[in-house]
Each structure stands twice: as C-alpha cells, then as structure tokens.
C-alpha cells in the first residue's frame, strides 16, 4: 500500500466534535504489583465515541477492554489521561463527579449472577437508581418500575422475585432494566451475552437494539464475539495489551482487516457456512498467547505472535496512523516510519 | 404430578420408537434409550428422555444444544460421574465395548475410567488438582492406567514430556515442575489434553474445551485436539453449544434438545439441510460474519424438567407445531441416508422406526 506523507500521523485527539459524547485522551490505567512493577492494563488509549453510535471494543482477555469501562464508570481511578464527557472533563475521583454524569453513564455487567444483589428483589434493585437520581416522585416509583419492566419485556410478576429465582437471560434483562432506570444517554455493555446461550443472546441483543432506536442511547459494546460485533456495531476498535491496534467503521474493518492481530482474530472465528468461511483471512493462523501485561514486549507489543514482523517491530512501537479515511492502524507495515528508517 | 401409569405409558411409547438404533458392530459406545432423572425436592427432574446415540471407532462426533439440554449429563453417565444417590435411571443401556456400563461393578468401572475413556472438562482450573504439580498428576495417570506396569520414574517423566511436547508447549521440564496456578488458561487446557491422551485411550470426551478461553486460543486448542485425535485414532465426543466449533471439528453431529436427540446426520448434511425446527432455529440465532442482522431467537426457554411438556418437548417453542406434537412424542424418521429427525413434520416421508 502506498501512502502519501500528508496522510500519516493525523492525531485523532485534536478533533473536538460536537457529536462526540465521550472522548478518552491518552487514557492510562496501571495497577501496581509492588513498588516498581505495574500491570499496564490500559496504556495510552485515545478514542472518541460519537453520539448515537455503537462502538465495539474487541480483544482477548487481558487486553484492557473492561478496564476502560470500569475506569470511566469510576470503579478505578485513572493513572493518566483525560476523560471528556459531552465536552466536560470528568474527574477521576468519583466523589468530585457530578450527579449528571453518574445519571447519564451506566453499565451492564458481564455476569448478571454476581452483579445483582441476591438479598433484594427486583423491585428493590430497580428502585434504588430511581430514588438516588430522583427520576420520579416517591409515590410513582412502582409505576415507573412497571414501565421499565415493560420496556425490557419482563412480566409484572417479576416485581417481587429475587435474582436467585430467575434464569440467566432474565437476570441480564433485570440488569439492563437497572441501567435504564436513570434515563442514561450512554451505556457500557460489558459482554452482556457472553454467559448466555445463542437463542437467548439473540433476544437480548434485539431488545438492546430496540431500546437503542427508541431512546437514542449511545452504546459501547465490549465483546470478544466478532460475528456478533459485525451485526450490531457501527464502529469497531481492536485492543491488544492495553493499546489500540485498529479502529474503523464496521464495514471497512471486516472487509479489509489490516493489522496482523485483527487478521489473526478474524481467522479464529468458528463460522457455520461456506460463505462466511470465504470472508476469513486464510493465510493467518493463530499462534501464541497474549503476554503478561506486567512485562510488555519491547517495540510493538504484538511482535511475539506476529507472522509479518520485521526488524523495526522489535525496538520501535508504531503509531496509530490513518491508512484509509477513518481507518486507523497501529502497525509498522502501514506507516512511513519504515521508509524513514531505511533512509 | 405424574402417576405410575402415565410413566409406564410414556416409557413404552419411547421404547417403540428406537428400533432404528440397530446394533452396530463398529460402535465403541452405544447409548440406547437412556433416561436419567434427578431427584429433587420438587419431585423427579426428568432430564434425559430416551437418548440414543452411537460412536464408531475412530469417529469424531459432536453433541450440540443449548445449556441445560442434558449434554453433559449424558456424558457424565458414560463415566458414571453422577452421584448415584441423586439420580434415578428408569431405563436405558450404555454399551461400551460390548459391556453395559450401567450394570458394571465398581472395579470394572474404575478400569474404564483409568484405561479406556478420558474426559476433558470445560474448566481447566477445576479439572487439575491445585496442590500437586503437573508432573505428579501425570505420574498418577500413567501408573494407574496399567499400560506401563514396570515403568521407572525416569520413563514416566519421559512419557509425560513427550505428551506435553505433543500439545505444542515448549519447555516441558518447567511445565512438569509447575503447579496449575502458574499456568495460563490456554496452557492448562493444553495440559489437560496432554493428560487425557498420555496413555492410549479408546474414547475421549471433550466437554466444551474451548469455551472458557479466548477465540484465538480456542482455535489453537481445537486444531490441536483434532490433529491429536486423528493421529492417535481415538474416538472423540465433542460437547459444544457452538455450531461453528462443531462444524470445524467433527464428522457427525447429534443435536440435542431437552434430553432428546432431535436430529442427527453428518456435519455436511446438518449444515446444508437443517431439518428439525430446533436445529433451524439454532442456526439462525448464530450471528453471521457476513452481516445481515440478528434473528429474534427461538421463542421461549428450555422447559422445566420437573414438569416437561407432553408430547414433543420442543412443541411449546416450535413455530411449526401441530396438534399432534403436544400429545405424542415424535418418532424418528430417516429423511435421507443416515439423516434422522425426530419431528412429525416428516411423517409423510418413509417411516423407519
């Protein structure tokens, strides 16, 4: 691929678009192990989520997808970088955050079994966010809860059920209902269907899409199911060891995956028809495992598993470059650094 | 509540339907009309409702279905891993190498577990003993398999090393000395595969070996498993809920729903001509890499086994259900050679009981 020098290294951070609902700038989260060593869970991620889009975050476990969501939600304090929500800086200290932010940004966790309080019934679970954010006056809470239950297509009888008495798919629906209580504008979906069967997954995803259309909520969907991602997200970001590898619109990335890691991920998807088989990159085969985020390899962090690595990958970390309009890849194969190095 | 009479009726009804399962000379394992009920406080939970399947020597077979369909129960019955106090077996035979496992004494059963059948579990962390090193666990397996009665420690070590190298782990010595917690999920699952194939086995049961792992690691594990099974000519039963995994790995597929085998055929046939409404539904639920949105899923949920639906257990969820479906249990029809479907929609085709 030939590239003009002007196209290269266009920083995505500097664009301040009205449409952007959430922007992360050089976002970092390290977890300390001891005084000198850190787990580099998220290592300088810059990305923006536009209003009304479904951004997919993909990567293996240990790539930092959930850490991004949890840190934005305030479960951890960010080590560095900025979180900007609707043009305003968000403090990493949760006590200093505004109620408005807490109301507008919600999360649905991966495992509904452990994210719902087993000692409360559905009514108690759903009434807390309504009371905290004063969505409705106290005497209307029950009415509002029924409205929300209807929205997630659960029957009235669920009001006094405890989470242990209902099935996995229904628990996840309650978790979604809880996130919807405060009329949020932005929801993190942290692998909402990975612990469920395909038939239930289809139901929940369809419900989420229905709510997305009705309420115009922006989603950030974290998943490792690339086939699912293909069908619902509008933009996809691939993460590896806390860094972005590739980010682009869904069509572009599925038509032409450029980063060797994206190709490896795509080649590993089990598919059910010949038609899909033909869409997978053929020559790449998955090898190796994701290295420990404590000792990240020097140079490009993917060099331990990459089939196309060249000398420069061993000592120099590539930048995120715009290879096609809106299609960013962090790989030396697609950057000018290579040619500069040769000169 | 079900009284004794209806139970007997049901059993005789099911019994009649299973003559298609002829005695197969090549079969290493044959499950005939197996019914397993769990005892619960609310009465018996009728999980397996007449399961018929067979695995030929050297064949790779997949068992596909939603969670809670009885896939794992069936396989645990083969190894008799369920607590006999908790279950009831009203009916059925599990014939392994011409002997019925259900009638075996404890010593013979031990023999089967030690020498003939091995199992890879879904959770590699739970399957490995955390307080023994990998090497010690290999030693136990090799010693009790009886295949190397006079092997010295060095020989055992050599064997384990070879097994670990077979599953593409470099530095076998270090692995043998380490404990399960020191290994990553993918490594642990590889070690489990190595353990299950370190001595020669007749049958390997893999219970969703890749589910707990990442896609790339899952892909590697499946490729490895396939190669090893083909190399060592072991018969494989692969339990999975992912149709994609089954398509890549196995020769023949059994689709299971609520304790019944609803459809069985070669992998190619199943994917080209899914015939049972449940199989069709499952296929449509899988999100496609080629795009095209997501289907709304199969209506309803897996039934409550304490009170399963009368007749065909899929009838309450079935889009093509007829009146007869909720009264009688469908017999098995052969709609093409080796393609069996348990559904009344095929009652006009040649009926082979």
Q: Does A197 touch chain B (CB under 8 A)?
A: yes
Domain A5-342 classification at class level: alpha beta
Which of B243, B120, B221 shows the shortest CA–CA distance to A198? B243
Which tens digit of pLDDT belongs to each residue from A299-325? Answer: 899 998 888 888 888 888 888 888 888
Which tens digit of pLDDT belongs to each residue from A248-299? Answer: 999 999 888 999 999 998 888 888 888 888 888 877 788 888 888 888 888 8
Residue B29 near residue B51 (C-beta atoms within 8 A): no
Pairing relationship of beta strands B252-257 and A20-32 according to DSSP bridges: unpaired
DSSP letter at B305 equals T
**What average pLDDT score do residues B29-42 get?**
91
Which H or E run contains B137?
Answer: helix B134-145
Q: Does A295 touch chain B (CB under 8 A)?
A: no
- Nearest 10 degrees: Cα torsion A164, A169, A175, A177: -120
Which of B199, B61, B51 shows the shortest CA–CA distance to B117? B199
B238 token code pair: 């692969």
Q: Does A282 touch chain B (CB under 8 A)?
A: no
- How many whole angstroms separate alpha carbon A192 and alpha carbon A299? 34
Residue of A nearest to B283 (CA): A272
Is B287–A276 a contact, with Cβ atoms under 8 angstroms apart?
A: no
ipTM of the complex: 0.79
- What are the E-state strand segments in chain A? 20-32, 38-50, 54-58, 80-85, 88-89, 105-108, 186-190, 218-223, 235-240, 243-249, 321-324, 327-329
- What are the E-state strand segments in chain B? 27-40, 43-56, 60-64, 87-96, 99-100, 117-120, 203-207, 235-240, 252-257, 260-266, 333-336, 339-341
C-alpha separations of A267 from A255, A282, B13, B172 in Å: 13, 7, 47, 28
DSSP letter at A317 equals P
Domains in chain B: ranges and CATH: 1-97+235-353 (3.40.50.300), 105-201 (3.40.50.300)
Best B216, B250, B273, B303 member to test A by mutation, with max A CBs in 10 Å, is: B216
Residue A230 near residue A250 (C-beta atoms within 8 A): yes
**Which value, in Å, is the radius of gyration of the alpha carbons in chain A?**
21
Chain A nearest C-alpha distance from B217 (Å): 7
Q: Look at A169 and B14; give whichever has higher pLDDT.
A: A169
Residue B241 with chain A: CB contacts under 8 Å: 197-198
Which residues pair with residue B88 across a beta bridge? Answer: B37
Residue of A nearest to B241 (CA): A197
Cα-flanking dihedrals φ and ψ of residue A318, to 5°?
-70, 160
Is A206–B291 a contact, with Cβ atoms under 8 angstroms apart?
A: no
Compare CB distances from B271 to A200, A254, A273 and report the shortest one's residue. Answer: A273
Q: Does A155 touch chain B (CB under 8 A)?
A: no
Compare CB distances from B298 to A199, A225, A273 and report the shortest one's residue. Answer: A199
Residue B286 near residue A227 (C-beta atoms within 8 A): yes
Q: Helices (H) and strands (E) in chain A — how many of each?
A: 12, 12
C-alpha separations of A269 from A274, A277, A286 in Å: 13, 9, 10
pTM over 0.80: yes
The per-residue pLDDT of chain A, averaged, comes to: 86
Q: What percent of chain B has pLDDT over 90?
A: 29
Residue of B nearest to A202 (CA): B297
Which tens digit of pLDDT belongs to each residue from B277-328? Answer: 999 988 888 888 887 777 777 888 888 888 888 889 999 888 888 888 889 8
Q: Which residues contact A90 (CB under 8 A, 6 or more apart)?
A: A72, A83, A84, A97, A101
The per-residue pLDDT of chain B, averaged, comes to: 85
Is B244–A280 a contact, with Cβ atoms under 8 angstroms apart?
A: no
Which tens digit of pLDDT belongs to each residue from A141-187? Answer: 999 999 999 999 888 888 998 998 888 888 999 999 999 999 999 99
Compare CB distances from B66 to A197, A227, A290 and report the shortest one's residue. Answer: A197
Compare CB distances from A231 to B216, B220, B287 and report the shortest one's residue. Answer: B287
Q: State the pLDDT confidence band at A208, using cuts at 50, 70 and 90.
A: very high
Best B215, B267, B282, B314 member to test A by mutation, with max A CBs in 10 Å, is: B215
Q: Could you state, in order of their start, the residue ranges of all structural domains in chain A?
A: 5-342
Chain B nearest C-alpha distance from A286 (Å): 6
């Amino acid at each position: 691929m030939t590239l003009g020098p002007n196209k290269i290294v266009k920083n995505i951070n500097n664009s301040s678009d009205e449409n952007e609902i959430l922007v992360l700038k050089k976002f970092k989260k390290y977890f300390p192990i001891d005084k000198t060593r850190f787990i580099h869970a998220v290592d300088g991620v810059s990305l923006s989520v536009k209003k009304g889009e479904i951004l997919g975050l993909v990567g293996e476990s240990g790539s930092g997808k959930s850490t991004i969501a949890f840190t934005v939600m305030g479960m951890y304090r960010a080590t560095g970088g900025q979180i900007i929500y609707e043009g305003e800086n968000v403090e990493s200290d949760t006590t200093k955050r505004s109620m408005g932010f807490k109301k507008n940004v919600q999360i649905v966790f991966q495992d509904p079994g452990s994210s719902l309080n087993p000692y409360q019934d559905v009514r108690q679970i759903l009434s807390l966010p309504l009371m905290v954010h004063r969505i409705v006056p106290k005497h209307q809470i029950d009415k509002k809860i029924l409205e929300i239950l209807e929205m997630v297509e659960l029957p009235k009888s669920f009001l006094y059920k405890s989470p242990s008495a209902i099935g996995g798919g229904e628990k996840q629906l309650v978790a979604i209902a809880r996130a919807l209580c405060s009329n949020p504008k932005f929801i993190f979906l942290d692998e909402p269907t990975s612990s469920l069967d395909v038939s239930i997954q289809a139901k929940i995803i369809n419900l989420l899409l229905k709510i997305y259309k009705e309420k115009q909520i922006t989603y950030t969907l974290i998943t490792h199911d690339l086939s699912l991602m293909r069908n619902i997200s509008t933009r996809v970001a691939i993460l590896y060891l806390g860094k972005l590898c590739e980010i682009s619109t869904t069509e572009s990335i599925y038509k032409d995956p450029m980063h060797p890691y994206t190709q490896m991920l795509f080649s590993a998807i089990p598919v059910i028809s010949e038609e899909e088989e033909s869409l997978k990159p053929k020559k790449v085969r998955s090898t190796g495992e994701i290295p420990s985020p404590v000792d990240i390899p020097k140079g490009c962090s993917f060099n331990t598993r990459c089939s196309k690595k060249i000398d420069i990958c061993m000592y120099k970390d590539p930048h995120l470059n715009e290879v096609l309009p809106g299609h960013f890849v962090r790989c030396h194969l697609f950057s000018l650094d290579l040619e500069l190095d040769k000169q | 509540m079900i009284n004794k009479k209806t139970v007997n009726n049901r059993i005789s009804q099911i019994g009649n339907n299973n003559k298609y399962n002829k005695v197969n000379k090549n079969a290493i394992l044959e499950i005939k009309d197996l019914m397993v009920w769990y005892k619960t406080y609310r009465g018996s939970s009728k999980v397996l409702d007449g399961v018929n399947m067979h695995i030929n020597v050297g064949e790779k077979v997949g068992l596909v279905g939603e969670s809670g369909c009885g896939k794992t129960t069936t396989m645990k019955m083969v190894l008799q891993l369920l607590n006999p106090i908790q279950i009831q077996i009203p009916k059925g035979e599990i014939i392994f190498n011409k002997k019925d496992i259900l009638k075996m004494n404890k010593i013979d059963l031990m023999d089967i577990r030690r020498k003939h059948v091995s199992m890879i579990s879904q959770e590699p962390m739970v399957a490995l003993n955390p307080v023994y090193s990998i090497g010690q666990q290999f030693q136990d397996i090799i010693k009790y398999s009886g295949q190397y009665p006079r092997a010295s420690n060095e020989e055992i070590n050599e064997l384990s090393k070879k097994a670990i190298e077979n599953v593409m782990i470099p530095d076998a010595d270090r692995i043998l000395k380490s404990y399960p917690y020191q290994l990553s999920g993918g490594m642990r699952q590889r070690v489990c595969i190595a353990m299950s194939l370190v001595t020669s086995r007749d049958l390997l049961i893999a219970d969703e070996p890749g589910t707990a792992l990442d896609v790339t690691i899952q892909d590697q594990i499946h490729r490895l498993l396939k190669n090893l099974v083909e190399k060592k000519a072991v018969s494989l039963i692969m339990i999975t809920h992912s149709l994609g995994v089954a398509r890549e790995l196995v020769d023949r597929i059994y689709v299971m729903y609520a304790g019944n085998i609803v459809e069985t055929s070669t992998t190619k046939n199943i994917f080209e001509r899914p015939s049972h409404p449940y199989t069709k539904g499952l296929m449509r639920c899988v999100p496609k890499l080629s795009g095209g949105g997501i289907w709304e899923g199969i209506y309803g949920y897996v039934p409550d086994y304490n009170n399963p639906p009368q007749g065909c257990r899929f009838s309450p969820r079935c889009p093509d259900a007829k009146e007869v479906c909720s009264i009688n249990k469908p017999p098995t029809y052969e709609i093409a050679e080796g393609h069996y479907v348990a559904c009344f929609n095929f009652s006009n085709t040649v009926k082979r009981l």
